[in-house]
Amino acid sequence: MNYYDLIKVGEKFLAKKKILRPKYESILLFSKINKINFNNYFTNGKKIVSKTQASIFLKKIILRGLGKPLSKIIGKKEFYSRDFFVNTHTLDPRPETELIIDFIKNFVENRLTPLKILDLGTGTGCIIISLFLELNKKINVTGDGVDISDDALKIAKKNARYHDLSDKINFFKSNWFSNVKNKFDIIVSNPPYIKKSEINFLPEEVKKFDPLISLCGGYDGLNPYRRIADKAKKYLEKDGFICVEVGNKQSSKVKKIFEVKKFTTVDVLEDLFNIERVIIFKNKI
C-alpha cells in the first residue's frame, strides 16, 4: 500500500466518525507518527508504506475516531510557536494563555533587574518555560513551577529538558502555595475554572482525555482564585504582579475576589473572541 492509499483509508474512517477535517488529520497523523514533512503527501504519495507503518497509523486513526484529541495521540502541542509534550495528565496549552506571555514581555521590556516568577498549577510548564525562553534574552530570570499532580510535574520537567532549561526552573509538588518558600516578582496561573455542575456537559474528548483536577474549579469555578488571592501577598515582592487566566463571564467575579484581598486590577486582556481572558493584579501594600 502506498502513502496515498493509506491516507485515503484514514480519511474515510475519520469522515464516518464525523471528524471535521478527515483528510487533513489523516495526513497530519501519518506525518507526525513517522516524523516526515506534511507536504510529503503531495510529493511522495506513491511511496510504498511498510506494514509496521500502516499498522501503527491505523491504530492511531482508530483512537482519533474514538474522540482522542490529536495532541494526545501525537503527544505534543504547540504553544507560543514551540512544541510541548502533553498527555492525559495535562491540559493542552491553548492560544488564549499566550496572552500572559505577551503581557509579561511588554511589562518587563525596559527592566534591567532580575525577575523571579512563580507558575501555580504549572501543568505542562508551557507558561513558565515560554517566559524563560522569551525573557532570558534580555534579563536574568529565575523561577518555580508547582503542581499538585506528580504526573503533570513529570511532563513539565520533560518539557524543561526538551527546551534545555532543566537547570533553570525548579519544578516541585505543591498544593498551590503549600510548599512554596520564596517571594516572587510575578505569579502566573491558568487554574481550573469550570463549575462542578458543568463538568458532565463538557465535550467527550475533554471529559475522557483531560485530567479532572485541571478542569474543576469547585461549585462556582472560582475556588482556585480564592486560594490564590488569600495567600499570594505572602509570596509576592512589594510591587509584585499576579496574572491569571479566567473563564468566560468570570472576569468581574475574579476581580472582586482579588480586590477584597487588597489587590489592584491593573489590566484586563481580551482573547480573539473579545472575551476577558487574562487579568493582571498588583500587590497593594
- φ, ψ at 242 (rounded to 5°): -120, 130
With cell 516568577, the residue in question is 117
Domain boundaries, the chain: 3-66, 74-283
Residue 185 confidence (pLDDT): 96
The model's confidence at residue 44, banded by pLDDT at 50, 70 and 90, is confident
List of E strands, the chain = 76-79, 82-85, 115-120, 141-147, 169-173, 184-189, 236-245, 263-270, 276-283
Q: What is the mean pLDDT of residues 193-218?
A: 90
Distance in angstroms between the alpha carbons of the first and the last residue of the chain: 69
Q: What is the mean pLDDT of residues 5-28?
A: 94
Indicate if the pLDDT at residue 112 is higher than 90. Answer: no
Query: Which CATH code for domain 74-283?
Result: 3.40.50.150
Q: What is the mean pLDDT of residues 4-27?
A: 93
- In 3D space, the residue among 252, 256, 243 whose CA is nearest the CA of residue 276 turns out to be 252
Q: Please report, rounded to a whole number, the percentage of residues in the chain having pLDDT higher than 70.
A: 100
Indicate if the pLDDT at residue 219 is higher than 90. Answer: yes
With residues binned 3-state (H G I as helix, E B as strand, rest as coil), the percentages for the chain, rounded to 5, are 45, 20, 35
Q: What global pTM score does this model have?
A: 0.93
The model's confidence at residue 285, banded by pLDDT at 50, 70 and 90, is low
Q: What is the pLDDT of residues 73-101, one digit of tens each?
A: 999 999 999 999 999 999 999 999 999 99
Lowest mean pLDDT among 57-61, 121-125, 207-211: 207-211
Q: What is the pLDDT of residues 168-197, one digit of tens each?
A: 999 999 999 999 999 999 999 999 999 999
Residue 64 confidence (pLDDT): 95
Indicate if the pLDDT at residue 247 is higher than 80. Answer: yes
